[in-house]
Amino acid sequence: MSGEQPSEEVAPGSATTGSGRAAGRIVVVTGGARGIGRAIVDRFAAEGATVVIGDLTDPGPVGAGLDVAGHREWVPLDVTDEISVLEFAQSVAAGHGGVDVLVNNAGIMDTRSIADETVADWDLTMAVNLRGPFLMAKHLVPLMDGRDDPAIVNIGSIEGLGANTLHSSYAASKAGVHGLTRALAVELGPAGIRCNAVAPGWIDTELNRGYVDKHPNREQAVADLAALHPVGRIGDAADVAATVLWLADPDAGFVTGQVVTVDGGRMSRLSIPASLSDD
């Protein structure tokens, strides 16, 4: 990744510092080009942070047409490659001097039977979903030294708590993220660094929308998904972003080592056969 220049764009009228819950904070978000990651980027920027997007994919005009108080930029990053992570850390250190918040969001998911999963398939999922957060913490934690209430927020999944069929590598990797979260909280706590995870449920992202769009009766599929959730709807990426913002905020200063489930109550609802349901 060396030799590539980061792109920077600031929305008209925005500034590198401003008002908001994250004003003046330097926030790194991996996988921030789209989906949940992009929502996290947008929320922190709206709250006045300077957000560095680490992603292989160019997020496009990161500040265009948005009313934000903060600043966003993209630095190319491959979370599976330690050299790329080192160069990313050096770029952030040179440009901003340190990091207040690290959000490990980059992740991949494939749907395969255990018989069809190859060693290469398995290793790639583990490299992105689990090695990535490890490498990012290893090389960005030194940039948190001396910062005010630094925090790491990892994006896990309800599939780190339960599992869907054909998701063995994904579920295993996300359970690993939850374990890594607890271990980092214990190890880094004495240095003043908190570490928590968010476990999203079904979130309305482009990826999940693709699954729904394949259904012959899309409206029925959406209704059935909503019915799984006690709150009566599927999640929005902004729901996850709001939780990440809170976990990174000093208001959550006594919260560490936790996996916060953001799933509209889905994991709390016990299943029951339709024939016995009172609904």
Q: If you ran DSSP here, which 8-state letter would residue 127 be given?
A: I
Q: What is the DSSP string of 72-111?
A: EEEEE--TT-HHHHHHHHHHHHHHHS--SEEEE-------
What lies within 8 Å, CB to CB, of 246 at 6+ separation is: 252
A 10 A CB-CB count for 164 gives 12
- Given the DSSP bridges, would you call strands 71-76 and 7-9 parallel, antiparallel or unpaired? antiparallel
DSSP annotation of 154? E
Spatial separation of the C-alpha atoms in residues 88 and 75, rounded to whole Å? 7
Other C-beta atoms closer than 10 Å to the C-beta of 98 total 15
Residues in the chain: 279
DSSP state letter for 251: G
Instruction: Tell me whether residue 170 is one of the annotated catalytic residues.
Output: yes
Angle value at C-alpha 199, between 196 and 205, nearest 5 degrees: 125
- Which of 170, 177, 235, 259 is an active site residue? 170
Residues 6+ apart with CB under 8 A from 149: 100, 192, 194, 250, 253
Identity (one letter) of the amino acid at 36? I
Give every strand in the sheet of 194-200, ordered side by side: 7-9, 71-76, 50-55, 26-30, 101-104, 151-155, 194-200, 259-262
* Active site members: 170
